[in-house]
C-alpha cells in the first residue's frame, strides 16, 4: 500500500527543481563570500536610499495633485454652491469633481462636506462618515490654518477607514466658509500610491510626528517593529544603517509631516552567512544547500503569478471588483492573468448595470404609485360642469367642479415635488369638496409656519392621509375635526394629520410597516404614501401612526427638510 504525501503546487515545483539541480557546484572562498557580502550590502544601502527617494517623490506628486485639485474646487462656484447645500444637478457636480481630481482620485478619496460637517458629494462609494465634527479634528485644523492641512487619523481596525487625511475649508469672497474638502487615503490607497516605488524585499512604514504608525502593510509590525523603532529613537540610537538582518532608511517629508521608514532584508543575513561559510569549509556538501536555494528561488518565480491570481480571486470573493492582476509575463501564466482581468471587468460592468437597472425600477415604481394616487381626468369637462352649474344656479356643484379641476391640473402638472404652501393650497380645494359632501359636519384647520411654506414635498402627499382620516376616523361621528400641522424637528419636516374620530385599531401604532394585509383592509392610500417617502428618501423616513390621548388618531409624514431655491 502506497502512502502519498500531499504537496502544494509550490512544493511540487520545489521538489522538481531540487531534483534537477543536484549537480556538483564549486563554492568560492571565504574572502570571496565576504567581498560579495560587502558589495551586496552596499548595493542594498543604495537601493534603500533610491527607494526612499522614489517614495518621497510619490508623496510630493500626491501633495501637488491635492493642491491643484483643491485650487480648482476652491475657484468653482458650482462646487462651492453644492458643498453649501445649494440646488445643483448631481451630474454636473460629479463631472467637475472628477475632472478636477484627475489622476489623484485613483489613489485618494475626495469628499465635499457642508458647513455642518455633513457629507454631500464623494468620488467613491462605500463606508465613509456621513457627519464629521467641524470644530476639532482635521476640519478644525483646516479652519485654523486657512489652507490645505494634513493630519493622521486615529487608529482603527476597519480596513476601509482612512489612515491619513488632508482638508481645506472652502470659502467665498469675504472669507465665509461654505463647506469643506476632505481628501482621505486608506490602506489600499497607500498601496496604489507606492506600488512599484520600493522593492518586494522591503517594508515601508509611515509614522506621524509622534512616531505612531500611519501606514503599516503588516498589522503585526504595530506590536513589534514600531515600538522597537520608538524605543531606539528615545535611547538616542540612529535608525539609519544596519540593524541585525535588516537595513533601515529614514526620511522626513516636511509637507505632510510624515516619517518614511524603509526596512530591507539583507541578502546576507546572519543565518545565510553561517550556512555559506560552512559550505565554503566543506564544499563537497555544498551541492545540497545551493540546490535548495536555487530551487526555492525558481519555484518562487514560477509560483508568484499563481499567488497573485489566488490573491485576486480572494478579493473578488470579498466583493472587490476593482482588483487587477499584472500580467508581467508573456507565457501561459500571463495569458491566464489577462483572462482573469477581462473576467473581473465583465463582472464590474454587470454589477454597474444591475445598479442602474435597480435605479430605473425604483423610478418606475414611484411613477406607478403616483399614477395610482393621481389619476388623469378631463379638466375641460369639469370646467363645463362648473359653468352649467352657475347658469342653473347650483353653486355647490360649481364650487366642487372648480376645486376638482384645480386638483387635477395640479396632479398632471410637470414635476414630482411642490412647495408645502402649494400642497396645502390644493388640499384646501379637497377640503372644500369634503365640506360640501359632509354638509359641513366636519371642521378643518391648517397650521403651518411661514418659514416652512417653501419646503419641497412630494405632490399629493397629504390628500390620501386626510381622506383616510375621514373614511376611517370621523365618518359617522358628530362634530368631527381634522387638524393639519407642520413643524421642523431635528432637521426633519414633520406634517401631522390628526382627527377626533374612532382612533387606530390595535397593532397599527408606530412606524407604518409594509404588510400585504393592510392593502386589503382599506389603507391603500397610507401604503402608497409610505412607499413614496421610502423611495424618495430611504430608510428612516415615512409615516408614523399613533392614537391621541383624548381620542382620535395622528398620522405623521416624516421627510428631510429641503427648500425651494429662490428664483433670480
Q: Does 463 share its domain with 555?
A: yes
In a domain, residue 299? The reply is yes
Q: Does 431 share its domain with 556?
A: yes
User: Which of 141, 156, 184 delimits the end of a domain?
Assistant: 184
Q: Does 549 share its domain with 420?
A: yes
In a domain, residue 47? The reply is no
Q: Retrieve residue 332's grid coordinates.
A: 501561459
CA distances 419 to 224, 423, 442, 447, 540, Å, are 61, 6, 26, 15, 22
User: Which of 149, 184, 219 delimits the end of a domain?
Assistant: 184
Tally Cβ neighbours within 10 Å of residue 106: 12
The span from the CA of 187 to the CA of 214, in Å, is 9
In a domain, residue 567? The reply is no
What is the CATH number for 499? Answer: 3.30.565.10
The span from the CA of 187 to the CA of 402, in Å, is 65
Checking DSSP bridges between strand 164-171 and strand 149-152, what pairing results, if any?
Answer: antiparallel
pLDDT per residue as tens digits for the range 101-137: 888 888 898 999 988 888 888 888 876 678 888 888 8
In a domain, residue 476? The reply is yes
In a domain, residue 260? The reply is no
Q: Does 21 share its domain with 70?
A: no
In a domain, residue 36? The reply is no
How many domains, in total, are found in the chain?
3
State pTM to two decimals: 0.44
> Structural domain of residue 556, as residue ranges?
415-560
pLDDT per residue as tens digits for the range 319-348: 777 777 777 667 766 777 778 788 878 888
User: Which of 166, 184, 202 delimits the end of a domain?
Assistant: 184
pLDDT per residue as tens digits for the range 265-314: 776 666 666 666 676 666 546 566 766 676 666 666 666 777 777 777 78
Cβ neighbours of residue 225 under 8 Å, at least 6 residues apart? Answer: 203, 205, 263
Give the DSSP per-residue string, 74-128.
HT-HHHHHHHTT----HHHHHHHHHHHHGGGGGTSEEEEE-TTSBEEEESS-S--
Share of the chain above pLDDT 90, in %: 7
Amino acid at each position: 500500500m502506497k502512502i502519498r504525501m500531499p504537496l502544494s503546487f509550490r512544493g511540487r515545483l520545489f521538489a522538481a527543481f531540487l531534483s534537477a539541480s543536484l549537480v556538483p557546484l564549486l563554492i568560492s572562498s571565504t574572502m570571496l563570500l565576504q567581498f560579495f557580502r560587502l558589495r551586496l550590502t552596499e548595493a542594498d544601502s543604495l537601493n534603500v536610499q533610491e527607494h526612499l527617494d522614489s517614495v518621497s517623490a510619490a508623496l510630493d506628486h500626491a501633495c501637488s495633485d491635492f493642491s491643484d485639485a483643491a485650487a480648482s474646487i476652491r475657484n468653482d462656484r458650482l462646487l462651492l454652491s453644492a458643498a453649501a447645500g445649494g440646488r445643483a444637478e448631481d451630474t454636473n457636480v460629479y463631472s467637475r469633481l472628477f475632472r478636477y481630481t484627475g489622476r489623484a482620485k485613483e489613489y485618494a478619496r475626495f469628499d465635499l462636506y457642508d458647513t455642518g460637517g455633513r457629507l454631500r458629494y464623494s468620488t467613491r462609494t462605500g463606508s465613509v462618515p456621513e457627519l464629521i465634527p467641524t470644530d476639532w479634528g482635521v476640519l478644525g485644523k483646516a479652519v485654523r490654518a486657512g489652507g490645505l492641512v494634513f493630519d493622521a487619523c486615529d487608529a482603527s481596525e476597519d480596513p476601509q477607514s482612512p489612515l491619513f487625511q488632508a482638508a481645506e475649508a472652502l470659502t467665498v469672497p469675504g472669507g465665509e466658509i461654505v463647506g469643506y474638502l476632505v481628501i482621505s487615503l486608506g490602506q489600499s490607497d497607500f498601496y496604489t500610491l507606492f506600488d512599484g516605488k520600493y522593492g518586494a524585499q522591503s517594508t515601508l512604514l509611515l509614522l506621524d510626528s509622534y512616531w505612531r504608525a500611519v501606514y503599516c502593510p503588516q498589522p503585526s509590525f504595530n506590536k513589534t517593529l514600531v515600538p522597537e523603532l520608538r524605543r531606539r529613537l528615545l535611547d538616542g540610537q540612529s535608525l539609519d544603517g544596519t540593524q541585525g538582518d535588516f537595513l533601515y532608511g529614514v526620511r522626513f517629508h516636511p509637507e505632510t509631516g510624515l516619517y518614511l521608514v524603509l526596512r530591507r532584508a539583507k541578502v546576507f543575513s546572519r543565518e545565510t552567512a553561517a550556512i555559506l561559510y560552512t559550505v565554503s569549509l566543506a564544499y563537497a556538501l555544498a551541492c545540497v544547500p545551493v540546490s535548495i536555494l536555487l530551487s526555492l528561488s525558481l519555484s518562487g518565480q514560477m509560483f508568484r503569478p499563481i499567488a497573485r491570481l489566488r490573491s485576486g480571486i480572494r478579493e473578488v470573493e470579498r466583493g472587490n471588483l476593482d482588483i487587477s492582476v499584472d500580467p508581467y509575463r508573456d507565457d501561459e501564466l500571463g495569458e491566464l492573468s489577462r483572462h482573469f482581468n477581462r473576467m473581473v471587468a465583465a463582472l464590474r460592468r454587470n454589477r454597474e448595470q444591475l445598479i442602474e437597472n435597480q435605479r430605473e425600477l425604483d423610478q418606475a415604481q414611484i411613477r406607478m404609485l403616483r399614477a395610482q394616487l393621481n389619476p388623469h381626468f378631463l379638466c375641460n369637462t369639469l370646467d363645463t360642469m362648473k359653468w352649467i352649474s352657475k347658469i342653473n344656479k347650483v353653486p355647490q356643484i360649481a364650487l366642487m367642479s372648480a376645486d376638482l379641476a384645480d386638483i387635477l391640473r395640479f396632479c398632471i402638472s410637470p414635476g414630482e415635488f411642490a412647495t408645502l404652501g402649494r400642497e396645502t393650497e390644493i388640499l384646501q380645494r379637497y377640503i372644500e369638496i369634503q365640506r360640501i359632501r359632509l354638509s359641513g359636519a366636519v371642521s378643518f384647520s391648517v397650521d403651518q409656519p411661514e418659514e416652512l411654506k417653501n419646503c419641497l414635498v412630494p405632490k399629493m402627499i397629504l390628500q390620501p392621509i386626510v381622506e383616510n382620516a375621514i373614511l376611517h376616523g370621523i365618518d359617522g361621528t358628530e362634530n368631527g375635526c381634522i387638524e393639519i400641522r407642520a413643524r421642523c424637528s431635528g432637521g426633519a419636516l414633520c406634517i401631522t394629520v390628526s382627527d377626533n374620530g374612532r382612533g387606530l385599531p390595535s397593532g397599527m401604532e408606530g412606524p407604518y410597516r409594509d404588510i400585504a394585509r393592510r392593502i386589503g383592509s382599506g389603507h391603500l392610500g397610507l401604503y402608497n404614501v409610505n412607499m413614496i417617502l421610502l423611495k424618495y428618501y430611504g430608510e428612516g423616513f415615512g409615516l408614523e401612526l399613533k392614537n391621541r390621548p383624548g381620542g382620535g388618531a395622528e398620522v405623521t409624514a416624516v421627510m428631510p427638510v429641503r427648500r425651494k431655491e429662490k428664483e433670480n
